[in-house]
């Protein structure tokens, strides 16, 4: 047996060095052993290694990322599993794509468990205040399901940059002094405070936000497993709150309805919300239009969207930029082009010499069309009927903004502006004059650039995208 010695349980660099040496020496998985500690006589028990027979073997980046997660798992055989995968990758370079493979599925599941443990740490760490020699400090005791302290601690440094805090765990400790994050030895529960005066305020807040009508015990325990309850001050209230949930629900149902918000009702009446879809409704300002679109029922897309997303930017802009529809982030934020495609657009506008603040940015469709896939919402292209129904709002924006030049991003945007289908790759670069005098320039959607798999093609298309925007700047 050949033995590789690691400095600690999460010593990825040590495991990688040992696994590389074992792999190049031709040591098969069943003959390789990984041990934690310095007690071994050397890297390998069986004497010096022969010259590496396959020094040209390269490890895929996907495997490195997977191994960095799996090594944080608490299972004893995780090192052996990773070495087995590394050994097989030489003959099966696409192994990690075979998610039905027993070893691959096992590794992915362990990586998923590590990711979940990191997420739970972010959610369930509770700091308690103490008075230290250097002033106020916040200390938390936490027992993660897996060894995720060093992976997760940077989140708290970003989340609480002005606090002086420490997180103590059985695996190690993390200390933030306001500038530097350092890691220390393991700790015990008695090294952390058991309570503080802030805790009562937190319990009061938790109790006041508890909704007994929405209580689902199995779902709650799935999201907040009992293993974490000992470290949560609010967990002391759970038993009492759940026991009272039925009575509190009956009390809520029996209570009379609250009085309507008269101020809101007057505001909605003023903007003519009930008639927002009639041809006779004419919004007089962009603000009024943005409020009215929230009640739009011209097509079914409003049912699954968070909100309607109208345009944003200069009110009398010479340039209007029209995309397809809000994406996932835009649907949540209520503003157009704030996600990845928006970042591409912003960078291209800067290169083309166009200030986004001087433009009005909007979409042909105002509600996010998508389909759920697990926890994600996947974009779906709007139908022609949905684009036609939403043209009412786009025309209203054009009438209020009165742009001289309109850039359409993608085929759906061109359909919304021109009321006819065009092939963007053939029409891009051409200037199409509209009856109202506006000139339309078609371009591809920034998301198209993100989807290109080939790096050279992506660079070339992005360069062309910027050149088309420079043409727009010349028109302005």
At 398-409, the pLDDT tens digits run: 999 999 999 999
Statement to judge: residues 185 and 235 lie in one domain: no
262 part of a folded domain: no
Domain shared by 211 and 347, yes or no: no
Is residue 92 located within the same domain as residue 65? Answer: yes
Identify which has the larger pLDDT, 135 or 379: 379
Contacts of 149 (CB under 8 A, 6+ apart): 121, 167, 169, 171, 172, 173, 174, 183
- Which of 422, 368, 413 is CA-nearest to residue 391? 413
What is the structure's pLDDT at 40?
47
| Angle at which helices 102-124 and 149-159 cross, to 10° | 40
Mark whether 51 and 162 lie in a shared domain.
no
Is a pLDDT exceeding 60 seen at residue 474? yes
> Quick one: pLDDT at residue 273?
47
Contacts of 328 (CB under 8 A, 6+ apart): 339, 368, 370, 376, 377, 379
Q: Is there a domain that residue 266 lies in?
A: no
Average pLDDT in the 32-54 region? 60
Q: Is the pLDDT of residue 315 over 70?
A: yes
Same domain, 414 and 334: yes
Q: Pick from 429, 13, 14: which is nearest to 5 by CA?
A: 14
Distance of CA 338 to the CA centre of its chain: 13
Alpha-carbon distance of 349 to 335, in angstroms, equals 18
- The predicted-structure confidence for 285-310, as pLDDT tens digits, reads as follows 999 898 888 888 889 999 889 999 99
- The string over 4-19, giving b where at least 16 C-beta atoms fall within 10 Å of a residue's C-beta and e elsewhere, is bbbeebbbbebbbebb
Among 59, 85, 57, smallest CA distance to 71 is for 85
Per DSSP, the three-state class of 468 is helix
pLDDT higher at 411 or 52: 411
Q: What is the DSSP letter of 130?
A: E
Q: Is the pLDDT of residue 48 over 60?
A: no
DSSP state letter for 445:
-
- Contact assessment for residue 458 and residue 464, using Cβ atoms and an 8 Å cutoff: no
Ramachandran category for residue 287: left, alpha or beta (phi over 0 → left; psi -120 to 50 → alpha) = alpha
Asked whether residue 334 is domain-assigned, the answer is yes
Contact 413, 326 (CB under 8 A): no
pLDDT classification of 227: cutoffs 50, 70, 90? confident
d(CA 168, CA 166): 6
Contact by Cβ (8 Å): 320, 401: yes
Question: Is 39 in the same domain as 141?
Answer: no
Average pLDDT over all residues of the chain: 86
Q: What is the pLDDT of residue 399?
A: 93
Which of residues 317 and 131 earns the better pLDDT score? 317
Percent of the chain with pLDDT over 70: 89
Same domain, 19 and 138: no
**Same domain, yes or no, for 38 and 97?**
yes
| 301/449 same-domain check | yes
Domain boundary among 228, 254, 280: 254
Both 339 and 436 in a single domain? Answer: yes
In a domain, 365, yes or no: yes
In terms of residue numbers, what domain contains 248?
198-254
Higher-pLDDT residue of 260, 178: 178
Rounded to 5 degrees, what are φ and ψ at 283? Answer: -65, 135
Q: Are residues 443 and 465 in contact, defined by beta-carbon separation less than 8 angstroms?
A: yes
- Is 263 within the bounds of a domain? no
Q: Is the pLDDT of residue 213 over 90?
A: no
Residue 265 falls within a domain, yes or no? no
Residue 137, H or E segment: strand 135-141
pLDDT in the model for residue 280: 64
Report the alpha-carbon angle 435-437-439, nearest 5: 105
Q: What are the pLDDT digits (tens) for 236-268? A: 777 777 777 777 777 777 777 666 666 555 555
Give the bridge partners for 363, in sequence order.
Answer: 323
pTM of the entire predicted model: 0.50
- Which of 191, 215, 238 is the last residue in one of the domains? 191
H or E element in which residue 463 lies: helix 455-475
CA distance 190 to 174: 16
Percentage with pLDDT > 90 across the chain:
57
What is the tens place of the pLDDT at every residue in 444-467? 999 999 988 888 888 999 999 999
pLDDT in the model for residue 291: 86
**Confidence band (pLDDT; 50, 70, 90) for 44?**
very low
8 A C-beta contact, residue 346 and residue 424: no
Give the confidence band of 148 by pLDDT, cuts at 50, 70, 90: very high
381 and 403, same domain (yes or no): yes
Q: Flag whether 65 is in a domain.
A: yes
- Among 119, 143, 174, the domain boundary falls at 119
pLDDT score, position 410: 94
Our count of domains for the chain comes to 4
- Per-residue confidence band for 373, with pLDDT thresholds at 50, 70 and 90: confident
């Amino acid at each position: 047996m050949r033995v590789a010695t690691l400095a600690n349980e999460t010593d990825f660099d040590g495991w990688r060095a040992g696994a590389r040496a074992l792999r190049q020496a031709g040591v098969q998985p069943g003959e390789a052993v990984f041990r934690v500690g310095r007690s071994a006589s050397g890297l390998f028990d069986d004497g010096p290694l022969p010259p590496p027979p396959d020094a040209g073997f390269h490890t895929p980046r996907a495997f490195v990322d997977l191994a960095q997660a799996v090594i944080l798992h608490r299972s004893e055989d995780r090192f052996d599993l990773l070495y087995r995968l590394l050994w097989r990758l030489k003959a099966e370079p696409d192994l990690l794509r075979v998610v039905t493979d027993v070893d691959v599925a096992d590794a992915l599941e362990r990586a998923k468990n590590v990711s979940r443990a990191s997420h739970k740490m972010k959610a369930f760490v509770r700091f308690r205040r103490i008075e230290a020699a250097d002033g106020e400090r916040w200390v938390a005791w936490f027992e993660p399901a897996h060894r995720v302290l060093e992976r997760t601690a940077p989140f708290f440094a970003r989340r609480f940059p002005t606090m002086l805090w420490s997180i103590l765990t059985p695996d190690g400790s993390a200390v933030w002094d306001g500038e530097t994050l350092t890691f220390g030895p393991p700790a015990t529960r008695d090294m952390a405070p058991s309570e503080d005066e802030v805790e009562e305020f937190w319990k009061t807040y938790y109790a006041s936000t508890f909704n007994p009508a929405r209580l689902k015990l199995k779902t709650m325990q799935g999201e907040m497993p009992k293993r974490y309850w000992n470290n949560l001050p609010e967990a002391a209230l759970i038993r009492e709150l759940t026991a009272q949930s039925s009575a509190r629900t009956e009390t809520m149902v029996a209570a009379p309805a609250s009085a309507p918000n008269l101020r809101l009702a007057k505001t909605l009446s003023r903007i003519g919300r009930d008639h927002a879809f009639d041809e006779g409704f004419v919004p007089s300002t962009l603000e009024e239009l943005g409020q009215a679109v929230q009640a739009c029922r011209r097509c079914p897309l409003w049912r699954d969207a968070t909100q309607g997303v109208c345009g944003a930017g200069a009110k009398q802009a010479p340039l209007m930029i029209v995309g397809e529809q809000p994406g996932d982030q835009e649907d949540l934020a209520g503003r157009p082009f704030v996600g990845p495609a928006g970042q591409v657009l912003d960078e291209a506008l800067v290169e083309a010499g166009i200030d986004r603040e001087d433009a009005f940015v909007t979409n042909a469709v105002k509600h996010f069309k998508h389909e759920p896939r697990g926890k994600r919402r996947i974009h779906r292209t709007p139908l022609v009927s949905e684009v036609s129904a939403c043209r009412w709002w786009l025309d209203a924006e054009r009438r209020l903004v009165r742009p001289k030049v309109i850039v359409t991003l993608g085929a759906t945007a061109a359909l919304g502006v021109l009321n006819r289908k065009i092939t963007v790759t053939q029409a891009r670069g051409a200037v199409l004059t509209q009856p109202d005098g506006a000139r339309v320039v078609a371009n591809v959607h920034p998301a198209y650039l993100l989807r290109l798999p080939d790096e050279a093609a992506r660079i070339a298309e992005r360069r062309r995208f910027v050149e088309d925007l420079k043409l727009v700047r010349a028109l302005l």
